[in-house]
Amino acid sequence: MEAVIDVSVREQLFHQRVREIIICSFLFGILYILSYVVLTRFKKHGDFTTVDDEDAAVNRIALWMCTFTLAVSVGAVLLLPFSIISNEVLLSFPQNYYIQWLNGSLIHGLWNLIFLFSNLSLVFLMPFAYLFTEAEGFAGSKKGIMARVYETSVVLLLLTLLVLGIVWVALAIVDEDAASRESLYDFWEYYLPYLYSCISLFGVLLLLLCTPFGLSRMFSVTGKLLVKPRLLEDLDEQLSCTGFEEDAISRKISASCWLNFNVELLKKKYLVIKTRRLALEMRRRASPWQRNLGYPLVMLLLLGLTGISVLIVCFHVLELLIDETAMPKGIQDAHLGKVSFSMFGSFGAAVQVVLMFYLMVSSFVGFYSSPFFSRLLPRWNDTTMTKIIGNCVSLLVLSSALPVFARTLGITRFDLLGDFGRFNWLGNFYLVFLYNMAFAGLTTLCLVKKFTWAVQAELIRALGLHKLPLPVSRTSGPGKIS
């Protein structure tokens, strides 16, 4: 009888493991296909249709690696929201047979896979893809794909040894254990998580800088996509100016046969201006409801989400001062379906998911709007392979830091699973406290500055004061104008 029970338990564990593998493979396959479709829309087709078949093959291999990395990035973004939604579904339907696959083992496995694939992409795939596109083979060797593979492998091995040496020296300086200064032991369980911890810390600090700036930029970016009320936007004047520019460039193209004009550049400008004119005409034909109701509602929604985020962070700051459990920490077992991770139940969990997506989109907007990283902004059908690699690395760093970012700010109470909770700096109270204070302060400062200048500019435009000539006054000195 005991043998039969033992076999039954082993069969259940086997079927559960097979089911988890199938579900993880299915989810990652969907993410990979979506990522490949996105990258093919941005890639520069000339890099894949060159006369040299070897360069085209190298770019295709690099594109596959970038697709894998982008799929991992999307998975990292969806990791925490998927876990929170799974917990609420299990709470709502505890006895439903068809959702029993949503268990703690599956969620914990997804967290471990994302951590593993993030390490694989950052440490191996992306450096290999970049070095592979730049490699030409060692001098004197036979040209071909394998020659580039050999050169890339050697350079990557040397780079890995250099990075590991730096990590070992850093650990020897900060670690009190004398044994860590003597040998490189337990590489997989100690040094690689420490390296990823440093990368995650860099990503969290990058989110601290990009997200407040992105929250203020969201109002401008969204305002460009929506139709503003007549008080805030004069479409007739914009259409008039665009029409004049289009006519002027059209006459230059017509006169290019006897005048020295760059026809190709003029045609590109003409298409850009024509596209802008068509967009303005579509916005002018917008309905009054869309014009007078849509824009204010969206602006109020953005303002409400931003205000809720700041209030949650301020409340979390108070919690850090009086409750030790408010500190971010990691757990080994995901007790799903036991209790809601929000005091407001399913509604609060839904708000947490919306806030996480909103903060992530804001961080992307702030990242690509910053002067230093604006060069990485991809262009439709005109993004080189090197720039695609840079974008995939940046998105992976930001995305993999999102669970730690949300938990550190107190956006959610869902504790970090797997190796995400093993970061040493998460237990530093002063670092976490200062991080929350800095986020609340920077976000408030950016919003106050944004709305102060925006309201002033819109009032000046609405009253027509921007059309008045600037006053000119003479100083006492001759010939000086101020």
Query: What is the pLDDT, as a whole number, of residue 472?
Result: 44
Distance CA 279, CA 36 (A): 29
| Percent share of the chain, pLDDT over 70 | 73
Chain centre to alpha carbon of residue 288: 35
Phi, psi of 320 (to 5 degrees): -60, -30
CB 207 within 8 Å of CB 398: yes
Distance CA 189, CA 391 (A): 29
Query: What is the pLDDT, as a whole number, of residue 32?
Result: 93
Mean pLDDT calculated for residue range 355-383: 86
pLDDT in tens, 73-98: 999 899 888 888 888 888 888 777 77
Q: How confident is the model at residue 474 (pLDDT cuts 50, 70, 90)?
A: very low
pLDDT in tens, 307-362: 888 898 888 888 888 877 777 776 666 677 777 777 777 888 888 899 999 999 99
> 482 pLDDT exceeds 70?
no
- Parallel, antiparallel, or unpaired for β 416-417 and 330-331? parallel
CB 121 within 8 Å of CB 396: yes
Cα–Cα separations (whole angstroms), residue 24 to 68, 101, 109, 250 = 14, 12, 9, 55
Query: What is the pLDDT, as a whole number, of residue 142?
Result: 72
Buried b (16+ CB within 10 A) or exposed e, 29-58: eebbeebbeebeeebbeebeeeeeeeeeeb
Query: What is the pLDDT, as a whole number, of residue 256?
Result: 61
Distance CA 474, CA 481 (A): 5
> 176 pLDDT exceeds 60?
no
By mean pLDDT, which of 139-148, 230-239, 375-384 is the weakest?
Answer: 230-239
Distance CA 41, CA 163 (A): 34
> 458 pLDDT exceeds 60?
no
Residue that has been written with the tokens 């302060």 in this structure: 441
**Half-sphere CA count of 416, side-chain side, radius 13 A:** 27
Residue-averaged pLDDT of the chain: 77
Selected residue with higher pLDDT from 74 and 474:
74
Helices and strands counted in the chain (H then E):
14, 2
pLDDT in tens, 48-79: 665 567 778 888 888 899 999 999 999 989 98
User: Taking Cα atoms as reference points, which of 27, 74, 115, 58 lies closest to residue 417?
Assistant: 115
- Those residues whose C-beta lies under 8 Å from the C-beta of residue 388, and which sit 6 or more positions away, are 39, 42, 43, 62, 63, 66, 378
Residue that has been written with the tokens 């819109």 in this structure: 458
Which 8-state DSSP code applies to residue 464?
T
Mean pLDDT calculated for residue range 405-410: 86
Query: What is the pLDDT, as a whole number, of residue 338?
Result: 75
Query: What is the pLDDT, as a whole number, of residue 479?
Result: 39
> 39 pLDDT exceeds 50?
yes
Query: What is the pLDDT, as a whole number, of residue 186?
Result: 53
